[in-house]
Amino acid sequence: FAYLDLQPYKGAAIAIPKSIRGVGNFGARPKRQEMTKSSGVDVILLKRLAPAFITSFCMLISCRNAVGWVQTPATNSRFLQHSCPYVRMALLASADALSEPITNSSNSAFDGSTTEMDVNKLQSKLLKQLRGVCKDYQMLEEGDHIMVCVSGGKDSATLLYLLKLMQQRLQITFKLTAVHVDQKQPGYNGTSLVKWLDQEMELPFLVVEEDTYSIVVDKTAPNKSYCTVCSRLRRGILYSTALELGCNKIALGHHADDALETLMLNMLHAGQMKAMPARYTSKRGKLAVMRPLIRSLESDIAKYSSLREFPILPCNLCSNQANLQRPQVKLLLQTLTHLNPNAKQNLINAIGDVRPSHLLDQNLRLACGMDPITGEEDQDSEGSPLF
């Protein structure tokens, strides 16, 4: 721990397995009292770390500022090599979920060996997923005018790029207009994004300036997430802009991980099985709101965005808040991925393959033509099964 400066992580909770002593150049494990007294960080020593503790261990280090000890490149590989499998799994899950750089050559996504063939292969994968969603939910139709919401993040940039490729390849004609909202956040600089839209994408675009930042800060209660108020204000601006531009559809950059995180948050905190729909109709203006990337994993999008070098604008609202629930759920999902590499894909498939007879929602059974009590399927007038 000689490489770890704990001052920037004041208020964080760091779980340290008791078995970690003198690993490489880390030196002897310091006493809890000494570390807490000098840094203000609550250090939790674990005598053992069995599989049952994986999730709790990950949740303890789920905050960005609590992953500090794996940020030093010179010690990452040695630390991972000498850690027990469960510690290693938790640390890798933390680093993956928080997009933190971590030295692990076998798990590197952005090494120098990446070729144009790899980029095209990843692009084909994302295009296939996007094309399937668009076909299933009739997102791209003749004469459509689609407003693509470009936030400045990797997801919306990838969405716009892929939709432009679809526009060039499909035999139908539809129009794309990119819209970015400047919310007047401190330190905001959208120059790189505007340049990319104008010179590289060569698509019609509009930058809408609205000071939602001041409203969000004023209306959000202490220790509450800015995201709820921010998203509602931004969504209202986007609806108004779409109507002014004459668009009939809006495309958002939400992906599979967003849908799964929303599902987990609603199940854990609201007791509802509710994720994100691929398409819905807005009450205001009857606009079709679409999520073409809903089956694409964030890891693929992040890799593709990095390889294409899309301009990324940081969000100074969310990134400065601690103890948010969504990053914790993101870490939980990433931990499941380390237990089963196909966990996220299986969860996405599960959202689209619901078995009402094996759930407790009686209204859902009724809507599916089943007896709400027994779950038996109703029969038509001729006595043959409906399904």
Query: What integer is the mean pLDDT of 274-279?
Result: 96
Q: How confident is the model at residue 8 (pLDDT cuts 50, 70, 90)?
A: very low
Beta-carbon-side half-sphere exposure of residue 231 (alpha carbons within 13 Å): 7
pLDDT at 218: 82
Strand partners, 146: 176, 249
Q: Is the distance from CB of 64 to CB of 98 less than 8 angstroms?
A: yes
Q: How far apart are CA 256 and CA 344, in angstroms?
A: 8
Q: How many CB atoms lie within 10 A of CB 156?
A: 25
Residue 160 has what pLDDT? 98
Task: Please state, rounded to an integer, the average pLDDT across all residues of the chain.
Answer: 76
pLDDT at 323: 60
Tokens 């009739």, residue located: 138
* Three-state secondary structure readout of the chain: CCCCCCHHHCCCEEEEECCCCCCCCCCCCCCHHHHHHHHCCEEEEECCCCHHHHHHHHHHCCCHHHCHHHCCHHHHHHHHHHCCHHHHHHHHHHHHHCCCCCCCHHHCCCCCCCCHHHHHHHHHHHHHHHHHHHHHCCCCCCCCEEEEECCCCHHHHHHHHHHHHHHHHCCCCCEEEEEEEECCCCCCCCHHHHHHHHHHHCCCEEEEECCHHHHHHHHCCCCCCCHHHHHHHHHHHHHHHHHHHCCCEEECCCCHHHHHHHHHHHHHHHCCCCCCCCEEECCCCCCEEECCCCCCCHHHHHHHHHHHCCCCCCCCCHHHCCCCHHHHHHHHHHHHHHHCCCHHHHHHHHHCCCCHHHCCCHHHHHHCCECCCCCCECECCCCCECC
**pLDDT > 80? residue 283:** yes
Question: Per-residue confidence at 222, pLDDT binned at 50, 70, 90?
Answer: confident
Contact 23, 82 (CB under 8 A): yes
Q: Select the more confidently predicted residue: 279 or 337.
A: 279
Q: At how many degrees (to 10) do helices 116-136 and 154-169 cross?
A: 80
What is the mean predicted confidence (pLDDT) over 330-353?
A: 92
- Mean pLDDT value across residues 358-362: 94
Could you read off the pLDDT of 289-309 as tens digits, one per residue?
999 999 999 999 999 999 999
Average pLDDT over every residue of 320-327: 70
Average of per-residue pLDDT across 37-53: 42
Which has the closest alpha carbon to 33: 45, 20, 22?
A: 45
Q: Phi and psi at residue 171, in whole multiples of 5°?
A: -85, 0
343-351 vs 325-339: helix crossing angle, rounded to 10:
110
- CA-CA-CA-CA dihedral for 16, 21, 22, 27, to nearest 10: 50
Q: Regarding beta strands 288-290 and 279-281, do their DSSP bridges make them parallel or antiparallel, or are they unpaired?
A: antiparallel
What pLDDT is stored for residue 135 in this prediction?
97
User: What percent of the chain has pLDDT above 90?
Assistant: 51
User: Per-residue pLDDT averaged across 253-277, rounded?
Assistant: 95
pLDDT digits over 195-217, tens only?
Answer: 999 999 999 999 999 888 888 88
**Residue closest to 241 by CA, chosen among 312, 145, 318:** 145
In angstroms, what CA-CA distances link 264 with 136, 319, 327, 333? 25, 21, 12, 9
Is the per-residue pLDDT at 277 higher than 50? yes
Q: Which residues contact 22 (CB under 8 A, 6 or more apart)?
A: 28, 29
Confidence of residue 327 (pLDDT cuts 50, 70, 90): confident
Q: Give the pLDDT confidence score for residue 117 in this predicted structure.
A: 86
For residues 239, 123, 167 and 202, what is the CA-based torsion angle, rounded to 10 degrees? 80
Residue 372 is predicted with a pLDDT of 93
This prediction's pTM: 0.71
Q: Which residues contact 332 (CB under 8 A, 6 or more apart)?
A: 55, 58, 59, 264
Comparing 18-22, 117-121, 220-224, the range with the smallest average pLDDT is 18-22
Q: How far apart are CA 130 and CA 292, in angstroms?
A: 5
In this predicted structure, which of 42-51, 227-236, 302-311 has the lowest mean pLDDT? Answer: 42-51
Rounded Cα–Cα distance for residues 151 and 111 (Å): 27
Per the model's pLDDT, the better-predicted residue between 274 and 386 turns out to be 274
pLDDT at 100 over 90: no
- Residue count (the chain): 387
